[in-house]
Amino acid sequence: MRKYLFYLLIFGLIGCGASESDVVRGTVSPIQVRVVSWDHAAGEFRLSFALLDGPEAADNITAVSLQIFSIDDDQETAVWQGSATSFSDYEIPYWTAHPTVTEAGFWGVNAELNTTDGETIASDFIIEVVAESGSPLLGDVPPASQNKTLATESDLTKLSSGPDPNPAYYQLTVAEALAQDKPIVVGFITPGLCQTEWCAPVLGSVDSIREAVGDSANFIHIEVFDDFQALTLVPEMAEWGLDTREPWVFVLNQEGQVTAKFSGPLSPRELDEALRPLIE
Amino acid sequence: MKKIFKPFKQRMLLFIALFGLLISVQQLQAHAELLEAIPGPGEILIESPTQVLLTFDEPLKEGSDIFIFTSGFQYVEDITVSIGGSNDRQLIADLPPLAANEYNVQWSVISADGHAISGTYAFQVQAKSASTDIFYWLIGVLMIGFGVIGVVFWKNRGKYETAPNGL
Task: Encode pLDDT of A136-147 as tens digits.
Answer: 999 999 999 999
Residue A258 has pLDDT above 80, yes or no: yes
- Average confidence (pLDDT) over A212-235: 94
- Provide, as residue numbers in chain B, all residues whose Cβ is less than 8 Å from the Cβ of A66: none
Average pLDDT, chain B: 77
Q: Which residue has the higher pLDDT, A217 or B164?
A: A217
Is A11 close to B146, i.e. CB distance below 8 A? Answer: yes
Q: What is the pLDDT of residues B96-112, one digit of tens each?
A: 999 999 999 999 987 66
Residue B11, CA distances (Å) to A40, A170, B18 in order = 19, 43, 10
Rounded-to-integer distance, Cα A271 and Cα A278, Å: 12
Helix axes A2-17, B130-155, angle to 10 degrees: 150
Residue of A9, A69, A243 lying closest to B151 (CB–CB): A9
End-to-end alpha carbon distance in chain B: 81
Residue A5 has pLDDT above 90, yes or no: no
Distance in Å, alpha carbon of B10 to nearest chain A alpha carbon: 11
Rounded-to-integer distance, Cα A68 and Cα A101, Å: 8
- Average confidence (pLDDT) over A7-11: 50
Using CA coordinates, name the residue in chain A closest to B49.
A22
- Provide, as residue numbers in chain B, all residues whose Cβ is less than 8 Å from the Cβ of A75: 1
Q: What is the dihedral of CA A194, A197, A203, A204, to 10 degrees?
A: 140
Query: Strand, helix or coil at A1?
Result: coil
Give the containing element (helix H, strand E) for A222.
Answer: strand A218-223
Count CB atoms within 10 A of the CB of residue A235. 13
The mean-pLDDT minimum among A151-155, A190-194, B52-56, B126-130 falls in B126-130
pLDDT for the residue A17: 42
Distance in Å, alpha carbon of A61 to nearest chain B alpha carbon: 16
Q: What ipTM score was computed for the predicted complex, to two decimals?
A: 0.80
pLDDT for the residue B84: 86
Q: Quick one: what percent of chain A has pLDDT higher than 70?
A: 89
Is A194 close to B144, i.e. CB distance below 8 A? Answer: no
Rounded-to-integer distance, Cα A61 and Cα A63, Å: 6
Query: Strand, helix or coil at B94?
Result: strand
Residue B156, CA distances (Å) to B27, B153, B160, B162 in order = 71, 5, 7, 13
Q: Which residue has the higher pLDDT, A23 or A127?
A: A127
The mean-pLDDT minimum among A90-99, A229-238, B153-162 falls in B153-162
The DSSP string of A95-157 is EEE--EE-S-EEEEEEEEEEETTS-EEEEEEEEEEBSS-SSPPTTPPPP------TTT---GG
**Residue B106: phi, psi to the nearest 5?**
-110, 110
The mean-pLDDT minimum among A144-153, B57-66, B73-82 falls in B57-66
Count CB atoms within 10 A of the CB of residue B22. 20
Strands A94-97 and A47-53: antiparallel
- Average confidence (pLDDT) over A210-236: 94
- Provide, as residue numbers in chain B, all residues whose Cβ is less than 8 Å from the Cβ of A53: 41
- Provide, as residue numbers in chain A, all residues whose Cβ is less than 8 Å from the Cβ of B71: 122, 124
Give the containing element (helix H, strand E) for B118.
Answer: strand B116-125
Residue A128 has pLDDT above 60, yes or no: yes
Residue of A13, A32, A108 lying closest to B41 (CB–CB): A32
Distance in Å, alpha carbon of B62 to nearest chain A alpha carbon: 19
Is B122 close to A243, i.e. CB distance below 8 A? Answer: no
Distance in Å, alpha carbon of B95 to nearest chain A alpha carbon: 17
Is A124 close to B147, i.e. CB distance below 8 A? Answer: no
End-to-end alpha carbon distance in chain A: 85
CB contact, 8 Å: A15 with chain B?
Answer: yes
**Are the C-beta atoms of A205 and A271 separated by less than 8 Å?**
yes
Q: Which residue has the higher pLDDT, A280 or A220?
A: A220
- Average confidence (pLDDT) over A27-52: 93
Q: Which residue has the higher pLDDT, A143 or B23?
A: A143
Is A74 close to B69, i.e. CB distance below 8 A? Answer: no
The DSSP string of A71-109 is SSS---S-SEEEEEEEE-SSSS-EEEE--EE-S-EEEEE
pLDDT for the residue A93: 93
A223: amino acid identity, one letter:
E
Is B31 close to A74, i.e. CB distance below 8 A? Answer: no
For residue B44, the cross-strand partners are A24, B124
Average pLDDT, chain A: 89
Rounded-to-integer distance, Cα B166 and Cα A276, Å: 91
